[in-house]
Amino acid sequence: MYRGESHLNNTNHPLLEPLALPNGANIKNRFFKSAMSEALGTDDHNSSPVLVTLYRTWAEGGTGLVVTGNVMIDRNALGESGNVVIEDERDLALLSEWAKAGTRNGTHLWMQLNHPGKQSPRTLSKTPVAPSAIPLSGSLKKFFNEPRALTEEEIQGLVTRFGKAASVAQKAGFTGVQIHAAHGYLISQFLSPYHNRRSDDWGGSLENRMRFLLEVYQEIRKQTGENFPIGIKLNSADFQRGGFTEEESLEVIRKLAQAGIDLIEISGGNYENPMMQGANVKESTKKREAYFLEFAAKVRSIVSTPLVVTGGFRSEKAMTDAVAQGEIDMVGIAKPLALIPDLPNQIFQGTYETIKLKPMKTGLKWLDKSASMLEIVWYEQQLARIGNSQSPKPDHSVWLALLHTITTNGTAVFKKRRG
């Protein structure tokens, strides 16, 4: 029986057990690489050789299921300038290279599909769209223009776009897709009564607010078929006054499970309250490492759909315990895989040492208030190193990372960025 130690080629390790999804697809182990911002797309928003190398590295590193950074469905709605966008099959050949590299070694590679809604920086969107014309609050106002409300026709068009992007990903060779419905992006905005104040069939009651998400799911299912895995990244809550609550999240999860969703990744917060980056986390939660295990237990009590929790996992023991005790089905990992891309292989070979991630600090209070921006810049450069066949650099200076980004992108680096 497993007692917390690792053994070379230990086939009894709980994290090495395969996972069967509801549609019959099999994931070779319990490691789930959660989406991270790469900003490595080309100027015309296509895949790039750097992405091909980066995802080949993760596939060869032993992760069972790898999820891409968010791929947008509309060239006029970007989360950041380096986004890959899928609107049609024009870039199918390059997408296929990405998929082929990322599915080596029996790895599942899922494309995360997203629309930023009003979280499209003012440098990229003069007039972003949203469920309602409600601007982002507080210090975020200066980074984003005020949105306009989507029309009924536009909403239906976006549903179709999600389905089309998924069908192109399937044709290119990606083995599944994940719908990004968390962190304050468009689908999350529809779910939130704070951000969605519509009075038509797309707003008001929870049933109406979840309509957009459910229609996106059904359209993807229609265009890809019953055997193509579809997952979702969903907030446990927005942690925002008047926003999306845990009770509402559980009801959305119940509906998605009934509809046939294959995998649920739990996260939380948005950029007005970034819980997904560990803000305001309780000490008891830190000791267990994972940020959303308490909510996962509530999900477990109502649905049997496979479940992933991302955020906070660092030690082999915490990862193993969460799976072995049945709290979750897959361990979601992001930042550690930017520094140890073969982390799963190291655990299975008994060579892994618990990673300690350093806080991003410059020593300047006004700049350190933008810690999330500093983190994203620093980790994006680690991903770029891997994609350029270089080793990650854990001791890389935050100042050098910031200087490189300003030199490359100008002061636009200080706009709010995706995590």
pLDDT by 10s per residue, the chain, length 419: 233 333 345 568 999 999 999 999 999 999 999 999 899 999 999 999 999 999 999 999 999 999 999 999 999 999 998 999 999 999 999 999 999 999 999 999 999 999 999 999 999 999 999 999 999 987 667 889 999 999 999 999 999 999 999 999 999 999 999 999 998 999 999 999 999 999 999 999 999 999 999 999 999 999 999 999 999 999 998 776 788 999 999 999 999 999 999 999 998 765 555 444 444 454 444 444 668 999 999 999 999 999 999 988 999 999 999 999 999 999 999 999 999 999 999 999 999 999 998 777 777 776 666 666 778 888 999 999 999 999 999 988 877 877 776 766 555 544 444 44
> The domain at 14-360 falls in which architecture?
Alpha-Beta Barrel (3.20)
Q: How far is CA 241 from the centre of its chain?
A: 24
DSSP code of residue 77: S
Give 326-330's long-range contacts (Cβ < 8 A, gap of 24+): 326/300, 327/293, 327/296, 327/297, 327/300, 328/290, 328/293, 328/296, 329/19, 329/30, 330/19, 330/27, 330/30, 330/31, 330/32, 330/64, 330/65, 330/263, 330/306
d(CA 56, CA 79): 24
Helix residue ranges, H only, 173-271: 186-191, 206-209, 211-224, 246-259
Which run of H or of E encompasses 158? helix 152-172
What angle, rounded to 10 degrees, do the helices at 246-259 and 211-224 form? 20
Buried/exposed 223-241: b ≥16 CB within 10 Å, e otherwise: bbeeebbbbbbbbbbbbbe
Q: Bin 19: left if φ > 0, else alpha if -120 < ψ < 50, else beta.
A: beta
pTM here is: 0.91
**Which residues 6+ apart lie within 8 Å of 286 measured at CB?**
312
The pLDDT value given to residue 403: 77
d(CA 66, CA 70): 12
C-alpha separations of 189 from 117, 145, 234, 240, 267 in Å: 8, 16, 12, 12, 15
The pLDDT value given to residue 411: 52
Domain ranges of the chain: 14-360
The pLDDT value given to residue 409: 56
Which run of H or of E encompasses 299? helix 293-300
The pLDDT value given to residue 7: 39
Pairing of strands 230-235, 263-267: parallel
Residue 270: name the closest of 353, 185, 386 by CA.
Answer: 185
The pLDDT value given to residue 307: 98
Which run of H or of E encompasses 322? helix 316-324
Instruction: State whether the Cα torsion 391-330-18-258 is positive or negative.
Output: negative
Q: Determine the 3-state secondary structure of 211 from DSSP.
A: helix
The pLDDT value given to residue 127: 96
Which run of H or of E encompasses 72? strand 71-72
Residue carrying structure tokens 């182990």: 29
Q: Determine the 3-state secondary structure of 96 from DSSP.
A: helix
The pLDDT value given to residue 284: 47
Pair of tokens at residue 191: 């779910």
Residue 375: name the closest of 337, 409, 335 by CA.
Answer: 335
The total of other beta-carbon atoms located within 10 Å of residue 303's CB is 17
d(CA 202, CA 309): 29
The pLDDT value given to residue 138: 72
